[in-house]
Structure 1
C-alpha cells in the first residue's frame, strides 16, 4: 500500500513540475469614439471563432521544429468585449432581446515567426468579419490587417504579442471608422 501511495504521489508531483506551454498575452485596445453617433439604439452582440486552429503564433526556429503558441485569453471573448466597447462609445446599447444583431466572426489571427540566432521576421494577419442584421436585411463586411516586422536576435513572446495586438488594433480601428457599417447601423437599427 505504501508503494502505491508513493507511486501515485510521484506521478502527481511529476505532472505538477512539467513545463507549461508558452502563451502570449492578447489585449486589444478598442477604438473609442469621442461622440455618440446614435442615442439608445439597441443591438444583440454575438461572436464565433472559426479559425482552423486555436493558436495565435507559429514559431519556426529553422531546425525542422515549428512551435504553436496559444493566447492567454480567450480570443473570441476578448475581441467581442472590444467590439462592444467600440459600439457603446458610439451610442449603441447591447441588449439580449433586440431585433438588431451584430455577429463578429474571427476568421484569422496569427503571427508567423521565422527566426535564427541573428534575426527574426514576424508576419501578422488578422481577419474579422462583421455582420450587422436587421429585419430589413443584413450587411456583411470583412476587415483585414497585416504587418511585417523584422528584428535582431530571436523574437520574444512580448515581441510576438506586440505584433498581434498592433494588427488587431488596426482592424478594430477600421471597424470603428467604417462609414458603410456606421451608416447601415445608424439608419436601420
Structure 2
C-alpha cells in the first residue's frame, strides 16, 4: 500500500497539533506579598509599571523532536506585579497616591520559565529580570533585580504545569520581596521629609 505525501503531511500536522493542544494557552500568575510593617510613616508614593519583555509568554516547553510550545499568563503580569508592589508598600506604611513626591516605576524586562525535557523528568529553568526607577525632586535612582532558579520535576509524557506555575509564582513573590526589602529603595523613599 502506497501512502501519498499529502496524507503523510496531514497525519504529521494532526499529531503535532494534538501535542500542542495538551497544553493550556495561558496559566494564572499570582505573586504573593511578604512585607514587614513600619518601614515608612505614611509617606506618599506614586507607582506605575511598564512591560518591555521581548515575548509575551511566560512558559516555554522544549521537547526533543517536537515544536516548542509557549504559554502566556491568563492575567496581566504587569498589573499583577504592580498590585503586589502596591500592597507591599502599603503594608510597609507608604500611601499610594497620584502625583506623589516619589514616583516609582516598575519595568518588567524578562519573565520566563523554560521547561526542558529530560529522560524521565523535566528541568525548569526560570529567569526573571525587572527594574525599579525611583524619582524625587530631580533625583533618580535605578535598581536592577534578577532572580534565577532551576528545578527538576518528574514526568514522562508532559510536564505538570501546575508545578511549573507554582515555581514561577514563588520566584515572582521573592522578586517582590527583594524589591520591598532593598535598602536603597527604602532609604530613597524614606528620605522624603
* CA apart distance, 1:31: 2.0
Gaps of 5+ in 2: 1-20
- Which sits farther off after the overlay, 78-87 or 134-143? 134-143
* CA apart distance, 1:72: 1.1
Answer yes or no: is the 8 Å Cα contact 1:41–1:91 preserved in 2: yes
Task: Using structure 2 for the length normalisation, give the TM-score.
Answer: 0.83
- Aligned residue among 53, 67, 78 for 1:76: 78
- Aligned residue among 35, 39, 42 for 2:41: 39
**Aligned pairs (5 A) from 1:1-189:** 21-33=24-36, 35-116=37-118, 118-153=120-155, 154-188=158-192
4+ residue runs of structure 1 moved beyond 4 angstroms? 18-21
For 2:28 and 2:132, the matched residues in 1 are separated by 24
* CA apart distance, 1:116: 4.5
* CA apart distance, 1:62: 1.4
Gaps of 5+ in 1: 1-17
SS of the residue 1:188 aligns to: coil
For 1:61 and 1:116, the matched residues in 2 are separated by 8
* CA apart distance, 1:136: 3.8
Structure 2 equivalent of residue 8 of structure 1: none
For 1:40 and 1:159, the matched residues in 2 are separated by 38
